[in-house]
Amino acid sequence: MFIIDTYTVAVIFCVITMLCWGSWANTQKLAEKSWRFELFYWDYVVGIVLLSLLFGFTLGSMGDDGRPFIADLLQADAANLGSAFLGGVIFNFANILIVAAISVAGMAVAFPVGIGLALVLGVLINYIATPHGDPIWLFLGVALVTGAIILTSIAHKKKALVAQKVPAKGIILSIAGGAFMSLFYYFVARSMVSDFTNPEPGFMAPYAAVFVFSLGILASNFLFNTFIMKKPIEGEPLNYGDYFNGAVREHSIGILGGIIWCIGMSFSIIAAERAGFAISYGLGQGATMVAALWGVFVWKEFANAPAGTNKLITWMFILFFTGLSLIVYAGV
C-alpha cells in the first residue's frame, strides 16, 4: 500500500486535508437553491463510501509495503472494526448537530463554539492518546487558530448589523456538536496499526480504517438523517421519494462533496504515522479558515460589511497562518 516516508510529505497531505475539509461545503452551496440539505447529505455520505473504496483498491492495494486492503480488512479483530465504525457514527452525529446549531444560532455562534471546541479537545485527546511533537508549540498554535475562529465569529456578527439574542438551544447544540466532533478521530486512530510498513495483527492500516469509518457514517445516517427529514429544523418534512426525485446534477454535486471530504479524511489518516494524530487532526481542523477564504474571496460574503470588518478579517488570517505554522513546527 502507499505509505508516506517523510514529515514534509505528511504536512503536505495535512494541508490538502485542510483544503478538502474547508472546501466540500461549496458543493452544498451550489445545490442549496433546489436541493434541501437533508437530501444533499445522503449523496454526500455515498460519496464518502465510494472514495474510501476507491482508495482501498488503489492506494491501499499497491506496492509491497504493509498489508493489502482486503487482507487488512479480513484480519482485523472485532474490537478494532467496532472502534473505526463507532468513529463514523460519532462523526455523523456531531456533523448533524453542528448543522442544526447553524440553523438555530447562525454560523457566528456555531463555528467558534462547535469547531473551536472540537479543535482544542480533539488535539488534546489525540495528543494524550499518542504523544507526538512538542506540546508547547502545538497548543500555542491551536490557541492562535482558535483565536482566528473567534475573530471570524465577530466579523459575521458585524456583517449582520443587528445584535440578536442567541437561543440557548443553539449554544447547547454547538457545544454538543463540538464535543462529539472532537472524539471521532480518536476512535479511528485507536483501531489502527502504529507501523504501516510492518502492521500489527488485529489492527487496521489507514485504508481499511477509513472504509469501516465510512460504513459507520452510512449506517448511522439511516437513523440520524431520517430523523431530521421527518422532523426538520427548517421547512416541511421530507420522505425518501423526495430524494429519488432529484436530478442527476443534484445527486452528482452531493457525491462530489462527499468525495472531497473523504480525500481529506484519508490523507489525514495516511499522514498520521509521520505527523502524529494530534498534528494531523489539528491541521485538518484549520478547514474553518479555508471555508472563510472561500466566503471572503469567492462568495463575497463580506462585500457590504460595515467599517472595521476588513481589519478583523486581516487579523483572522494572520492568527490562522501563524497558528498553522506553529502546529507544523511542533512536529519538526
As given in the structure block, the three cell numbers for residue 193 are: 496499526
Tell me which residue of 10, 92, 5, 94 sits closest to 280, measured CA to CA. 10
Whole-angstrom Cα distance, residue 64 to residue 41? 37
The 3-state DSSP class for residue 192 equals strand
Domain boundaries in the chain? 7-330
pLDDT per residue over 294-322, tens digit each?
877 777 767 777 778 888 889 988 999 99
Query: Per-residue pLDDT for 129 more than 90?
Result: yes
Whole-angstrom Cα distance, residue 10 to residue 267? 8
pLDDT per residue over 188-226, tens digit each?
999 999 999 999 999 999 999 999 999 999 999 999 999
The 3-state DSSP class for residue 302 equals coil
Count H helices and E strands in the chain, helices first.
Answer: 16, 0
Q: Are 49 and 316 in contact (CB under 8 A)?
A: no
Tell me which residue of 187, 275, 246 sits closest to 43, measured CA to CA. 246
Kindly state the percentage of the chain with pLDDT values over 90: 68
Whole-angstrom Cα distance, residue 158 to residue 76? 51
pLDDT per residue over 141-196, tens digit each?
999 999 988 888 788 777 665 445 657 888 898 899 999 999 999 999 999 999 99
Tell me which residue of 265, 295, 48, 292 sits closest to 40, measured CA to CA. 48
Query: Per-residue pLDDT for 285 more than 50?
Result: yes
Kindly state the percentage of the chain with pLDDT values over 70: 95
Query: What confidence score (pLDDT) does residue 162 get?
Result: 47
Q: What is the mean pLDDT of residues 271-298?
A: 88
Whose grid coordinates read 465504525? 85
Query: Per-residue pLDDT for 243 more than 70?
Result: yes
Query: Per-residue pLDDT for 125 more than 90?
Result: yes
Residue 228, number of CB atoms within 10 A of its CB: 18
Phi-psi region of 63 (alpha: psi -120 to 50; beta: other; left: phi over 0): left
Residue that wins the pLDDT comparison between 77 and 285: 77
Predicted confidence band at 7 (pLDDT cuts at 50, 70, 90)?
very high
Nearest-10 crossing angle of helices 135-160, 309-330: 160
Residue 295 gets which letter from DSSP?
A: I
Tell me which residue of 154, 157, 40 sits closest to 96, measured CA to CA. 40
What are the beta bridge partners of residue 204? 192
Sign of the CA dihedral 255, 257, 258, 259?
positive
pLDDT per residue over 19-77, tens digit each?
999 899 889 888 888 899 899 999 999 999 999 999 999 999 998 899 999 999 999 99
- What pTM does this model have? 0.91
Tell me which residue of 91, 49, 75, 139 sits closest to 330, measured CA to CA. 139
What is the average pLDDT score of the chain? 90
Give Dmax (Cα) for the chain: 60
